[in-house]
Amino acid sequence: MSQLAIGIMSGTSTDGINVALVEADWGDRPHPRVSLVEHRAFSYPDALRERVFAAVTGAPTTAWELARLHAALGDAYAEAAAALVTTAAHPQVIGLHGQTVAHFPAEDVTLQVGDPARVALRTGIPTVADFRSADIAAGGEGAPLTPFADHVLFSDGAPRIVLNLGGIANVTLLPDPDADHVTGWDTGPANMVVDAIARMSGARFDEGGAGARRGRVVPEALERALAHPFFARPAPKSTGREEFGEDFAVRLVGDVRSQRGSLDDALATAAALTGTTVGAAIREAPAPPAGWREVLVGGGGSANAALMSAIASALSPIPVRLTDELGIPAAAREAIAFAILALYRIRGLPNTLPRVTGARRAVSAGAVHQP
């Protein structure tokens, strides 16, 4: 049996929306074979981007402003999803992550905005959203959620690791094809700190890692950044802008400047921070007897050559390659993941991994909005 699904993702970079249309062939396998049909990226209009950025960075706001953003994002998600719906390709379900505006796992609190009812009504397709709340109610952190999809997509090639470089970096460890053996967690910042530093020079991000490649790593600043308590916290764990947002970036730049460094040096140091923390997380994790075959990298940060170089150096001699080589474009991976989670949800099947999130049990996460 084959099903079509759309996944919608807007991440902590606040640059826009990624939408993926996938086909899932269930057959008689324990999990479906998933293939990408189409992927599109939609940039936020400047005014909406500014509103989203203000919300995710904790700028003073009101309930009215947040409610208006919830509606505006719902309309933007609906328009993006509708672009992939045709008479020839009418999906059975849409999975919508929403825009995270707060994530406090230590307080059992998370909030994503973007009205899914508008998506369901505009497209005429059941829309699943609010994936994190059920896991949190079951005692988990509500994140990371993509390791479940990583198991579906990549476990046949185990033992391997999947690394996502979004605003936050997270890893999925696949020692074998058994879902009960999957582990994963957030390792720390990836694009989030790099983007914040780039904005100090008037850029939206460090395109291709050019600024970091011009700079030099400042050891004193890197050492202080590595002292952040998140890195010593045991897994399972998750994090976000609350710990590695603007304040963290400003402190890192201050530490670099105290050593007579430049913004490019701060970018290089931020890239080194990601490489160091990803490498440490993987080295400290139990490895299968034959070792890890490879590390597959997805997410927007895979386009940053400085980040990729820092990671390859930290993980050597484990081979590092992009998920693109397996038919999953790095920029589409998270949108594909939420299409997969939505497919499991409408079947009433578990779509979380307790060993990853720390929940008491697996749940079929997500609220279903009918058109």
- Verify that 341 and 312 share a domain, yes or no: no
Looking at the domain assignment, is residue 323 inside a domain? no
Question: Do 344 and 312 share a domain, yes or no?
Answer: no
Q: Is residue 327 part of a domain?
A: no
Q: How many CB atoms lie within 10 A of CB 277?
A: 23
| Residues 133, 191 within the same domain | no
Does residue 256 sit in the same domain as residue 308? yes
- Within a domain: residue 325? no
173 shares a domain with 113: no
Same domain, 163 and 305: yes
In-domain check, residue 8: yes
Same domain, 258 and 129: no
Indicate whether 324 belongs to any domain: no
**Exposed, middle or buried: residue 284 (CB in 10 Å: 0-12, 13-18, 19+)?**
exposed
What's the pTM?
0.92
Residue in the structure block whose two tokens are 């998600």: 77
Does residue 326 sit within a domain? no
Kindly give the confidence (pLDDT) of every residue in the chain, 371 residues in length, as a single tens digit, with 9 standing for 90 and above: 899 999 999 977 778 999 999 999 988 777 899 999 999 999 999 999 999 989 988 778 899 999 999 999 999 999 999 999 986 678 999 999 999 998 888 899 999 999 999 999 999 999 999 999 999 999 999 999 999 999 999 999 999 999 999 999 999 999 999 999 999 999 999 999 999 999 999 998 999 999 999 999 999 999 999 999 999 999 889 998 889 999 999 999 999 999 999 999 999 999 999 999 999 999 999 999 999 999 999 988 999 999 999 999 999 999 999 999 999 999 899 999 999 999 999 999 999 999 999 999 999 999 999 99
**Interhelix angle 305-315/263-284, nearest 10 degrees:** 40
Q: Do 161 and 267 lie in a common domain? A: yes
Q: Are residues 102 and 58 in the same domain?
A: yes
207 and 75 housed in the same domain: no
**Side-by-side strand order, sheet with 295-298:** 183-189, 168-174, 160-165, 295-298, 320-322
Domain that holds residue 163: 147-318
* Domain match, 129 and 153 both: no
Are 152 and 278 found together in one domain? yes
CATH of the domain at 105: 3.30.420.40
**Number of domains within the chain:** 2
